[in-house]
Amino acid sequence: MRFPLRFPQAAAGINIPEVTDHEYNDKHTKCVNDSRNHLDFQTVPIQIIETGLVCGNKKTHIISNVTSTVLFSDSRQLQVSAMDKYDFTNGWFDHTARKTWDQVIPKIKPKKILEIGSYEGASACYLIDNLDSSTGIELHCVDTWGGGIEHIEDGVDMEAVESRFDKNVAMALKGKEKNVSLIKHKEQSELVLSKLISDGQRSTFDFVYVDGSHQAPDVLVDAVLGFKLLRVGGTMAFDDYLWAEDLPYGKDPIRCAKPAIDAFTNLYFRKVQILRLPFFYQVHVQKYSE
């Protein structure tokens, strides 16, 4: 489906190009721009082949050939601490996020961050390790540590998962306690985000990471509330865009994030700019209007 879009004037100081062609298909949402914004873009062919990514005992299979506009960082390479010093029981972050974050995070340099879904703390530790904390970082980690449907069905010990989160972030924070403020919210995300809004933190976050429940209705709620907390010019990232469980009856559109991410980007297309990434397992958008 193709249709022309004209976005309203961007907020002052935010350089957003006019989008003249918007395409949507069953693999990802694509915004083809007639100019560049303040991030660097380059079109390259990419083959994505990731098989056997494991969530509990279930596997996902992703094979995709696409041509994408890749976001490149013109800043110096990140000095990434070895993640193997932490106690992680899976490689989800390395498989699905790190390649993208290595290029995105040094461009946006977030100082106030909201993470929805923390699990063992891999993404939180990455941010603490790689961001310049000398001017202060505020990181909110939201999780019930009760597990999603897939974790419950697979018998994952969520108490042990939370214990590893506490241990891992404590290790990452060592020596940075004065410059990094980590706030742990052990509660349902819609309650935490609603309270942050009511506490006057609307439009104050630089980076919102949606990686909590994989139930489509939950993802949509996290996206809508997270958008309200995100400042104009800030970035919202969605994980697991191509993730789906291998269930006996096939893929369940309610038990995966993609339908919710598609709904959000379509409903908010006049308020967000979809960023092209080197790996389509994640979707990142930049907010340019309330």
Q: How far apart are CA 195 and CA 207, in angstroms?
A: 18
pLDDT above 50 (res 269): yes
Residue 51: band (very low, low, confident or very high) from pLDDT cuts 50, 70, 90: very low
pLDDT higher than 70, residue 28? no
Half-sphere exposure in the Cβ direction for 278 (13 Å, CA)? 16
Structure tokens at 276: 């092209």
* Rg of the chain on CA atoms, in Å: 18
Select 2-73+81-287's CATH number: 3.40.50.1470, 3.40.50.970, 3.40.50.150, 3.40.50.300.
Answer: 3.40.50.150
CA-wise closest residue to 262 among 280, 288, 235: 280
What pLDDT does 110 receive?
Answer: 98
Summarize pLDDT for 155-174 with one digit per residue, the tens: 999 999 999 999 999 999 99
Q: What is the residue extent of each domain of the chain?
A: 2-73+81-287
| Predicted TM-score (pTM) above 0.85 | no
| Helix (H) or strand (E) run with residue 167 in it | helix 158-173
**Strand, helix or coil at 283?**
strand
CB 56 within 8 A of CB 95: no
- State residue 279's pLDDT score: 81
What's the whole-number average pLDDT of the chain?
Answer: 78
> Pick the residue with more confidence: 50 or 267?
267
Least confident stretch, 5-19, 105-119, 271-285: 5-19
Q: Which of 4-18, 170-184, 228-242 has the lowest mean pLDDT?
A: 4-18
